[in-house]
Amino acid sequence: MSGPATILVVFGTRPEAIKLFPVIAALKADPRFRVRVCVSGQHRDMLDQVLGIAGIVPDHDLDLMRPDQSLDALTAGLLTGIGGVIDAERPDRVMVQGDTATAMAGALAAYYRKLPVDHVEAGLRSGNIHHPWPEEVNRKVIGTLASLHFAPTAAAAAALRAENVDPARIHVTGNPVIDALHWVTARIAEQPSLAGGLAALEARFAGKRIVGVTSHRRENFGNGLASIAEAIRRIALRDDIAVIFPVHPNPNVRRVMHGALAGDPNVALIEPLDYPHFARLLALCEIMLTDSGGVQEEAPALGKPVLVMRETTERPEGIAAGTARLVGTDAGRIVSEIFTLLDDKAAYEAMARAHNPFGDGQAARRIVEILGDEIRQQA
């Protein structure tokens, strides 16, 4: 290979952008690489917020987001759209992250062209193809196709070996979400106005104990979300508690949450937060209540316990370490777990002080070093 290796980085959602921007920055700083960025627009406004704060200008934007579109229609558009970008760019490698439809379609489009796929955040498994759905299968598909597997933890690496992935292709790097969180926290310390949009809520809820909430998983649509909304309503009955809930734009989420919680004086249903403001919410809250994957990694980095409103998680390291706990979607269970943590100092401290198993903020550097060794061996 003569000249720098061209890496096409493909992503489409806010979590992917957060976890990949430290890697993109590290790749661009290394003369061995030429970086091209393709975004699918699987998320739109939420994605653009991260691109703005990270200073990333995509080379290709497929803009595929449509209201309430089906997974098969989305996947078809992703596969043909990303395939066209690969044909135009003719990269040496394609990098994807995590478990989204964009990541799966990007890996498959690269495979169809016999290009190596680099998978950031590889090896996460829940063991149940319906929880999280469809992310568990997306990960398994990418894991089958990937050339290099950048596993965030030793447990993720072990899951890949159990699937007969060549151990020489698996590298434990940590998760770059911790790199990103350290970066944005430092930026906020230097420039507080980056996260100043929560000042009014901070004043409104002064003296209250804040519970942060995120919820958007497809497997919770319907009864699960209704039960989560009921739990939040009960939690907010206590005068010493306030709930800040950035509501996902999916209408299946908004319809339920606004219908059940709008007007509650102790609940703030707000628009999705850009990354600096979300980091500020993590700093403000005492507990994060979530069905998200990334929050299970981010909140413990700031010493905040995470209650996971799912039956399974592909991040069992957090459960084992004590930073997170599975609570499902039963309203009574959620309320009980929240009150236990808020009322039992020892229980709270046990989770808040547990070691975060997801990284030390050096994942992007490790990923670039491994890629550099890979292209040197191929030269």
pLDDT given for residue 222 in this prediction = 82
Give residue-wise pLDDT tens across range 282-324: 999 999 999 988 899 999 999 999 999 998 888 889 999 999 9
Q: Where are the domains positioned within the chain?
A: 5-174+362-378, 198-352
The answer on pLDDT for 279 being more than 60 is: yes
Catalytic residue among 119, 248, 277, 366: 248
Element (H, E) at 316: helix 316-321
Q: What is the pLDDT of residue 307?
A: 98
Q: Is the pLDDT of residue 68 over 90?
A: no
Residue 174 CB partners (closer than 8 Å, separation 6+): 152, 153, 358, 359, 360, 361, 362, 363, 366
Q: Is 216 a catalytic residue?
A: yes
Please tell me which residue in 16, 61, 121, 136 is annotated as part of the active site: 121
Place of tokens 């800040």: 244
Q: What is the pLDDT of residue 88?
A: 98
Residue among 218, 233, 325, 333 flagged as catalytic: 218
* Backbone φ and ψ of 13, nearest 5°: -125, 165
Residue 110, token pair as written in the block: 């690269």
Whether residue 190 lies in the annotated active site? no
Round to whole Å and give the CA distance between 299 and 283: 8
The predicted-structure confidence for 116-132, as pLDDT tens digits, reads as follows: 999 999 999 988 998 88
Phi, psi of 258 (to 5 degrees): -70, -35
Q: For this structure, is 248 an active site residue?
A: yes
Active site residue 230: no
Listed in sequence order, the DSSP H helices in 9-132 are 14-28, 45-54, 71-89, 101-112
Task: Give helix then strand counts, H and E, for the chain.
Answer: 16, 13
Could you confirm whether domain 5-174+362-378 is CATH 3.30.200.20? no
The structure tokens listed for 216 are 């958007």
**What are φ and ψ of residue 307, in 5° steps?**
-105, 120
Q: What angle do CA 152, 51, 132 make, to 5 degrees?
A: 45
Q: For strand 324-326 and strand 306-308, is the pairing parallel, antiparallel, or unpaired?
A: parallel
Residue 146 near residue 119 (C-beta atoms within 8 A) = yes
With H, G, I as helix, E, B as strand and everything else as coil, classify residue 112.
Answer: helix
Indicate the burial class of 161 (C-beta count within 10 angstroms; 0-12, 13-18, 19 or more): middle
**CATH architecture label of 198-352:** 3-Layer(aba) Sandwich (3.40)
- Identify the H or E element spanning 210: strand 209-214
Is residue 130 annotated as part of the catalytic site, yes or no? no
In the sheet that holds 93-97, the strands lie side by side as: 60-61, 33-39, 5-11, 93-97, 117-120, 148-151, 170-172
Count of positions (residues) in the chain: 379
Instruction: From the candidates 92, 99, 136, 291, give the one annotated as an active-site residue.
Output: 99
Contact (CB, 8 A) for 286 and 267? no
Residue 17: per-residue pLDDT: 95
Q: What is the pLDDT of residues 165-200, one digit of tens each?
A: 999 999 999 999 999 999 999 999 999 999 999 999
Q: How far is CA 16 from CA 92, 135, 158, 177, 339, in A?
A: 21, 13, 23, 9, 33
pLDDT of residue 1: 57
Counting residues of the chain whose pLDDT is more than 90, the rounded percentage is 82
Which run of H or E residues covers position 10? strand 5-11
* pLDDT of residue 63 exceeding 70: yes
Q: Is 218 a catalytic residue?
A: yes
Residue 308: closest CA among 285, 292, 332: 292
Give me the pLDDT at residue 379, please. Answer: 73
- Categorize the per-residue pLDDT at 69 as very low, low, confident or very high, splitting at 50, 70 and 90: confident
Q: Which two tokens stand for residue 254?
A: 């908004």
Average pLDDT over residues 327-350: 97
Minimal CA–CA distance to 278: which of 379, 368, 197?
197
